[in-house]
Structure 1
Amino acid sequence: MYNSTKNSGGYIANTIVVPMIAVVLVSVVGIFGVMHWSARISDESAAHSQYRLIDGALQLMQNYMVKQQTGVVIWDEAFVEVNDPDPDEGWIFNNMMHWLFQNHGFSKSILVNRDLEVQQAYAQDYTIKWLSEDLLEELTPVVKRVRARYIISFKKTPSGLYSFVPQSSNSRQAIAETGIVALAGDPYLFSAAAVMPQIQSISPIRKPPAVLISLVPLRGEKLKEIAEMSRLQGLVLANLQNTRDGVGRFELLSPQKRSAGVVAWQTNQPGSQMLQRVNPFLALAAFMMAAVVIAVTIFTRQMTKRLARSEAKAVHASRHDALSGLPNRTRFHTLLNDTLRDGIQKDTKTAVVYIDLDHFKDINDTLGHSAGDKVIVAVGERLRRVIPDTGIVARISGDEFAMVIRDSKDDEWLEYILDQVQDEISRPIRIGSRELFASLSLGVAVAPRDGDDPDELLRKADIALYDAKANGRNRRSFFEPTMEHHVQSKDKMSRELRLALKNDELDLAYQPQTDTDAKRIVSVEALARWTKSDGTIVSPAQFIPVAEETGLINDLGLWVLNKACAKAHDWPGVTVSVNVSPNQFKHPRFVEKVMAILAANNLPPQRLELEVTESVFAGRNDSVLQALSRLKNLGVKVALDDFGSGYSSLSYLRRFPFDTLKIDRDFVSDMNGNPEAEAILVSIIQLGKALGMTIVAEGIETAEQIRFLQAHRCHRMQGFFISRPLTDKALGKFLDDFHGANSTGFGTDLSYQPLTAKG
């Protein structure tokens, strides 16, 4: 073992050191290459940054030109003058064009009227030779965009007229476009702005504006301003500038994307400058790296020897459970795969057993996790001791174990082995001064009968385990195809139910409850109904248990509650009863969700009654009682359903003051001519009254039952004799018919025949 570890360590050292030297050499060359590449990228980035500075300076200058134009283009007098059929050209010349030249240096101006015709042109040298067809062609799209923006600024008023509202006077903004054009080979900055009024104007139609175009040469003062704003020296204008190193160029484009000139400058090159400073340090770094490689080589040879010695321990730890020392899930899967492959070659059977400790959570809860860990260790040791030598035992997770039994002869032989397993585990486990008793539920799948794929066998063994636990625990079940069908059916129903909830495909039925005299419907019980899209009716007895097992009961319960509260407004004065599952009370925010639903549907809490069975108290009495008390304090009525069906109902009546007591239907159905059943029924009614509760009798199917309950003043009655569960529409009609027919009373002769309608 030592020699193997030593040789392994030397091999590992060589496989690390030799590539490391190569990596260092490549790294040194790479670093020099990367530095030169980075210098070039830095130079290019600097040039691009300077390019953006010039672009930004040009944009700022053009925006400032728009502001300079504002004084003459947003002016009522100018608006009236330029749009006059016979404009005063001298006034326009002096007060608009010449004024812009004198105050802001716009050496040329063009006024385009509403008909897209040049109305007037201006130049500081009083010539118009510069006004060419090419220039007007360049500027035509710009003028059209300005006119379009002006037109869409009108808002149509309710009267059908159009209103133009300029910006507020303290932040006036012109409707303008800016850009660059070439005149006689020189670039000119221009601003084209709509001439518009200062105040709001109303007109029956929207008319395009006159547009004033003002131009200023880029050469000279403007170019100096760009240099100052961008802080770039040596800016020059050229019609053509060849690309060469160290020279940046910014091409000036006209509105038609034609070249109007080039701004060139000498670029800064920070990357090249940095490289000149860094090269000596790079050489020193290369020398230091070589020294580090030598030191690392020596250190690596020593460390690899230690790593090789601990490798076996690490591999073992990665494949085994730290607590029990048994193979873990990953290792078990590998061993199972190898065993199955060997069994196929030898044509032998292999049994896979899934094991679960019964009620292990109770041990953790009562004695603590330390005791639970000791039980896990003890069970693991006993399992390893009792199975055949060729078998495999693994801890899968928590309180779950798995076994593989090779060369299984038949089911009877397996039964004998599993009997020994259960007998061994049933012996007391001593934890300190305590003796604990554990039991196992086992699920068995046999290859090749149940398949030869590891995952498939584990799945089927798990299905069999579920069957064993569902049938009382402390037993074993061999996988049968019917079990899988049951699981798949439940899974299919679960998925269909989830989809039905998501798509709101479920319905509610409502079963009415009458008062004592059967003259008035005082409450309805909301009942979930499910009809699939193909017309198949799924019984609540089928989908409610599935919802309970899969956790969908929370979503289903809230859906029923929300739907019932929303419909309650259709039946004023009628209380709506909704059944609440015990699992819903496990949600820590169940009360808040009920409050939110009541608020969302604007339903008073007094009109809602929640029905619970005594199973809701199992295991969590204090938290359930607290939740029920909060609901009751909010005004929600709380009913104890199926009273008398359990063994501890009286204790719950003493601990929690229910509003309503619903007598289990079995007492009502058994009372016909049965003195004992009738006596029990009367006792329950009297008990509920003595405690101040409302008494509801369920399952009424005959007139004699109603007469008996009326004689003993049962508060509310419910059953098929009164009505079957109805849809919301059918319930509305039923309520109208019932109250209309019973306005004169119903209690004694039961002569009202529509009452027995089955809905």
Structure 2
Amino acid sequence: MLKTSNISGSQIANTIIIPMVVIVFVSVVSIFGLMHWSARISDESARDSEANLLSGALQLTSNYMVKQQVGVAVWDEAYRRVHAAELDTYWLYNNVTHWLFQNHGFTKSVLIDRDYQPEFIYAQNHTDRWMNEDLLNQMRPAIAKVRARYINTFRKTPSGLYSFVPHTSNSGHSIAETGVLSLAGEPYLFSAAAVMQQIQTVISERRPPAVLVSMVPLRGERLAEISEMTGLAGFVIANRQIDRPGIGQYQLTNPRGDTIGVVAWNANRPGSQLLQRINPYLVVAASMIAAVVIAVAFFTRHMTRRLAKSEQQAIHTARHDALSGLPNRSHFHRLLSDTLEQGTENGTETAVVYIDLDHFKDINDTLGHSAGDKVIAAIAGRLHSVVPDGSLVARISGDEFAMLIRNCVDDEWLDHILDKVQDEIAQPIKIGSRELHASLSMGAAVSPRDGTDPDDLLRRADIALYDAKENGRNRRSFFEPTMEDHVQSKDKLSRELRLAMKFDELDLAYQPQSDTYAKSIVSVEALARWTKPDGTVVPPSQFIPVAEETGLINDLGLWILNKACAKAHEWPSLSMSVNVSPNQFKHPRFVEKVMAILAANNLPPQRLEIEVTETVFAGRNDTVLKSLRRLKNLGVKVALDDFGSGYSSLSYLRRFPFDTLKIDKDFVSDMNGNAEAEAILVSIIQLGKALGMTIVAEGIETIEQIRFLQAHSCHRMQGYFISKPLNEAALRKFLEDFERTDGPDGPDYYYEAKIAKA
């Protein structure tokens, strides 16, 4: 029998090894072939990526040239002199072409008149021989595009005249084309811009503009800038393709589509480099295959014997948490299902208790995850030691545990058990030389009173846990039906809010801000409003917190920002203030989304003011500070809202240069007759002024408050005395009433009349 067993073992080994050798051999050959193919594809992809990178760098450089050129191309004086009966070449030299060379390095410039003829030629070396018919033919398509685009900006009015209406919101933007030209065999970057007026004009006949073409050679410092921008090395300008391995090439074409040169560089070859590094290892691996196959034959019998033992261990591992040794979530669910079935048969009650460690993240953040693991293990041991006989503890997730308590007598008995749990956890936990103190929040649900289905019972215990955490932590809650109603109502509200945003059922209200003496409205604050189709008004205090909890605040905040920016065009003289939730700054692309909204609505960043509270700095405030600085660098104003409502506001004023400081309305409402409150208010105003900030007082409701703030030169005021939040139509009427001339002093004294009447 033993010999037969050995033969059987050999046959099994051969059955496994022979197919394995064939498969491994084919696999090794395939891997070698695949690696070489992948290396070639990777090299080609890297070259294509670098070519795209170079193309983008050239485009960025060209766009920057347009911005440099716009100062002289979009200029009323330049337009008048260029299109005068006699060209003032002396003025053109000093104020346009030579100025462009001195300030931006444009070595050559030419002014093309309306008949496609060079009207004025400039070069750094004071020669005009460089301008020839071939160069003019190269730039002709670009000039034609500029002329056509300029003419298309005029729109015919009902009177028959033509009005200059550029496609951009700012008529100061240049109408230009960029590209590369070949001059004496050398590539030059050029920018061709229409010489145009700064302000909107009305003419009787559309005529093509004169076009200023400014050029800079693609060499030296300019080529070095592009190399630094792309991170590519070894740039060389060649007249034709270079057929050498490892060389990346980008063809330069003029506006006619003719190839005028090649930019070459030392291309990265990640595939080939990887192949060189990995080939020796593959060879070694192939050499080891034979040894591995032999070893497998010996290990097969040994591994078969260990398999049975490992199976039991694997089952235990699959059902238990590795760190604490407690049952895991899935095993706990199975045990709960069995216990509930037995409880139904025996008529006994079963309690499920969800447990969450309070502020466990702080331990990981301050002491490290190793200390956190030791705390978890210690808590697991303590929980296991205090549960009644026949009950069990499981680890559900990171810092969450669950207890299954069988044969629960009543709520008072269960309360006693949970008291023991909290008392045990309250004892210090020693981690090295430190003593840590932990606390628990617990939520309990009891079967059959709170349900007999395992999932329902777990969900209700979780709802009770949420109630305990929401009401202060370090406490416990027993499930009550009202808790589920509360959760369901919040869930319903969140779903309705999501649909309201989808179908554009939300709206904005706008609360005006006046200047110091209430003589002008300088800004409005956009506030979200929600009225359901049935006429039910949902206050912001109800749906904003739900949006924060459910993550809808990102979409809601961007919706408010987008609509406010779109409506800002209706009141061009006013700034638009929008509140931004702290959770929005957690989005990794928040700043890019703000930039996209501004661009989509053609709104200058300077007209937008973002209001944040000091809670936005909680947690990873370095990330928030970077985002705020990026917005501020774009021109967006940043206001610190509700200043003084927290204990650390002064530190934020030191860390970030806010544009605006909004004084919390509690300070304003408390100052009436209160010398201490008035002194604090004056101190805040003086502090903000010392830091160069605009000061806004919120919650203005009385004439006395207005006069006090005027006496201390508060920059802006906002509150019901100025105006309540208004819908779009009401704000329009409010501003019209304000601007209407009712007396000899005009609209500047609209609010003075209101003050006098008060």
Sort the TM-score into its range (normalised by shorter chain). 0.5 to 0.7
Q: CA deviation at 1:302?
A: 8.2
- Distance, in Å, in 1 between the alignment partners of 2:720 and 2:614 is 25
- Distance, in Å, in 2 between the alignment partners of 1:674 and 1:298 is 92
1:416 corresponds in structure 2 to 416
- Distance, in Å, in 1 between the alignment partners of 2:313 and 2:616 is 50
1:346 corresponds in structure 2 to 346
Matched, 1:578 2:594: no
Counting matched residue pairs gives 470
Deviates more, 1:690-699 or 1:606-615: 690-699
2:738, 2:747 within 8 Å by CA — same for their partners in 1? no
2:703, 2:755 within 8 Å by CA — same for their partners in 1? no
2:612, 2:641 within 8 Å by CA — same for their partners in 1? yes
Q: 1:258-290 CA deviation, whole Å, 9 max, x = no partner?
A: xxxxxxxxxxxxxxxxxxxxxxxxxxxxxxxxx
- Distance, in Å, in 1 between the alignment partners of 2:665 and 2:518 is 18
Deviates more, 1:459-468 or 1:307-316: 307-316
Identical aligned residues as a percent: 77
2:562 corresponds in structure 1 to 562
Matched, 1:662 2:662: yes
2:740, 2:746 within 8 Å by CA — same for their partners in 1? no
- Distance, in Å, in 2 between the alignment partners of 1:736 and 1:568 is 16
- Distance, in Å, in 2 between the alignment partners of 1:662 and 1:309 is 70
Deviates more, 1:430-439 or 1:528-537: 430-439
2:519, 2:751 within 8 Å by CA — same for their partners in 1? no
Q: 1:455-507 CA deviation, whole Å, 9 max, x = no partner?
A: 11100000011111111111111111111111111111111111111222110
- Distance, in Å, in 2 between the alignment partners of 1:576 and 1:416 is 58
2:605 corresponds in structure 1 to 605
2:739, 2:747 within 8 Å by CA — same for their partners in 1? no
Aligned-partner residue type, residue 484 of structure 2: E
1:738, 1:754 within 8 Å by CA — same for their partners in 2? no
Aligned-partner residue type, residue 709 of structure 1: L
- 1:746–1:674: structure 2 CA closer, same or farther, 3 Å change rule? farther
1:432 corresponds in structure 2 to 432
Matched, 1:446 2:478: no
1:323 corresponds in structure 2 to 323
Aligned-partner residue type, residue 431 of structure 1: I
1:213-224 equivalences under 5 Å are: none
Secondary structure of the structure 1 residue equivalent to 2:510: strand
Aligned-partner residue type, residue 619 of structure 1: G
Q: 1:306-341 CA deviation, whole Å, 9 max, x = no partner?
A: 433332222212111122111111110111111111
1:363-442 equivalences under 5 Å are: 363-442=363-442
Deviates more, 1:302-311 or 1:377-386: 302-311
1:726 corresponds in structure 2 to 726
Secondary structure of the structure 2 residue equivalent to 1:456: helix
- 1:323–1:580: structure 2 CA closer, same or farther, 3 Å change rule? same
- 1:651–1:309: structure 2 CA closer, same or farther, 3 Å change rule? closer
Aligned-partner residue type, residue 617 of structure 1: F
1:723, 1:756 within 8 Å by CA — same for their partners in 2? no
- Distance, in Å, in 2 between the alignment partners of 1:745 and 1:395 is 73
- Which blocks of at least 5 consecutive residues in structure 2 are unaligned? 16-295
- Distance, in Å, in 1 between the alignment partners of 2:667 and 2:506 is 32
Q: 1:106-141 CA deviation, whole Å, 9 max, x = no partner?
A: xxxxxxxxxxxxxxxxxxxxxxxxxxxxxxxxxxxx
- 1:409–1:755: structure 2 CA closer, same or farther, 3 Å change rule? farther
Matched, 1:358 2:355: no
1:65-80 equivalences under 5 Å are: none
2:44 corresponds in structure 1 to none
- Distance, in Å, in 1 between the alignment partners of 2:715 and 2:645 is 20
Secondary structure of the structure 2 residue equivalent to 1:526: strand
Matched, 1:460 2:463: no
1:642 corresponds in structure 2 to 642
Give the TM-score normalised by structure 1: 0.59
- Distance, in Å, in 2 between the alignment partners of 1:612 and 1:309 is 61
- 1:508–1:754: structure 2 CA closer, same or farther, 3 Å change rule? farther
Q: CA deviation at 1:708?
A: 2.2
- Distance, in Å, in 1 between the alignment partners of 2:746 and 2:620 is 46
Q: CA deviation at 1:414?
A: 0.9
Matched, 1:694 2:694: yes
- Distance, in Å, in 2 between the alignment partners of 1:708 and 1:614 is 27
- Distance, in Å, in 2 between the alignment partners of 1:740 and 1:618 is 46
Q: CA deviation at 1:548?
A: 0.8
1:614 corresponds in structure 2 to 614
2:658, 2:693 within 8 Å by CA — same for their partners in 1? yes
Matched, 1:537 2:547: no
- Distance, in Å, in 2 between the alignment partners of 1:711 and 1:620 is 40
Q: 1:354-411 CA deviation, whole Å, 9 max, x = no partner?
A: 0111111111122222221121111111111111121011111111110011111111
- Which blocks of at least 5 consecutive residues in structure 1 are unaligned? 1-9, 21-295
2:639, 2:658 within 8 Å by CA — same for their partners in 1? yes
Secondary structure of the structure 2 residue equivalent to 1:752: helix
1:94 corresponds in structure 2 to none
Q: CA deviation at 1:600?
A: 1.2
2:350, 2:404 within 8 Å by CA — same for their partners in 1? yes
- Distance, in Å, in 2 between the alignment partners of 1:755 and 1:377 is 72
1:429, 1:436 within 8 Å by CA — same for their partners in 2? yes
- Distance, in Å, in 1 between the alignment partners of 2:547 and 2:679 is 38
1:707, 1:748 within 8 Å by CA — same for their partners in 2? no
2:387, 2:417 within 8 Å by CA — same for their partners in 1? yes
1:579, 1:610 within 8 Å by CA — same for their partners in 2? yes
Q: 1:25-73 CA deviation, whole Å, 9 max, x = no partner?
A: xxxxxxxxxxxxxxxxxxxxxxxxxxxxxxxxxxxxxxxxxxxxxxxxx
Aligned-partner residue type, residue 346 of structure 1: N
Aligned-partner residue type, residue 744 of structure 1: D
Rg comparison, structure with higher value: 1
1:713 corresponds in structure 2 to 713
Aligned-partner residue type, residue 536 of structure 2: T
1:700, 1:717 within 8 Å by CA — same for their partners in 2? yes
2:753 corresponds in structure 1 to 752
Matched, 1:486 2:486: yes
Q: CA deviation at 1:579?
A: 0.4
1:336, 1:404 within 8 Å by CA — same for their partners in 2? yes
- Distance, in Å, in 1 between the alignment partners of 2:752 and 2:573 is 25
Q: CA deviation at 1:672?
A: 2.5
1:699, 1:719 within 8 Å by CA — same for their partners in 2? yes
Q: CA deviation at 1:719?
A: 1.1
1:337 corresponds in structure 2 to 337
Q: CA deviation at 1:682?
A: 2.1
RMSD, aligned α-carbons: 2.9
Deviates more, 1:634-643 or 1:524-533: 634-643
2:520, 2:748 within 8 Å by CA — same for their partners in 1? no
- Distance, in Å, in 2 between the alignment partners of 1:470 and 1:432 is 33
Q: CA deviation at 1:674?
A: 2.8
- 1:652–1:745: structure 2 CA closer, same or farther, 3 Å change rule? farther
- Distance, in Å, in 2 between the alignment partners of 1:363 and 1:298 is 49
2:364, 2:371 within 8 Å by CA — same for their partners in 1? yes
Q: CA deviation at 1:715?
A: 1.1
- 1:495–1:749: structure 2 CA closer, same or farther, 3 Å change rule? closer
Aligned-partner residue type, residue 632 of structure 1: K
Q: 1:228-277 CA deviation, whole Å, 9 max, x = no partner?
A: xxxxxxxxxxxxxxxxxxxxxxxxxxxxxxxxxxxxxxxxxxxxxxxxxx
Secondary structure of the structure 1 residue equivalent to 2:351: strand
Aligned-partner residue type, residue 637 of structure 1: K
1:194 corresponds in structure 2 to none
- Distance, in Å, in 2 between the alignment partners of 1:563 and 1:299 is 70
Q: CA deviation at 1:755?
A: 11
Secondary structure of the structure 2 residue equivalent to 1:616: helix
- Distance, in Å, in 1 between the alignment partners of 2:318 and 2:752 is 81
Give the TM-score normalised by structure 2: 0.59
1:519, 1:739 within 8 Å by CA — same for their partners in 2? no
2:78 corresponds in structure 1 to none
Q: CA deviation at 1:729?
A: 2.2
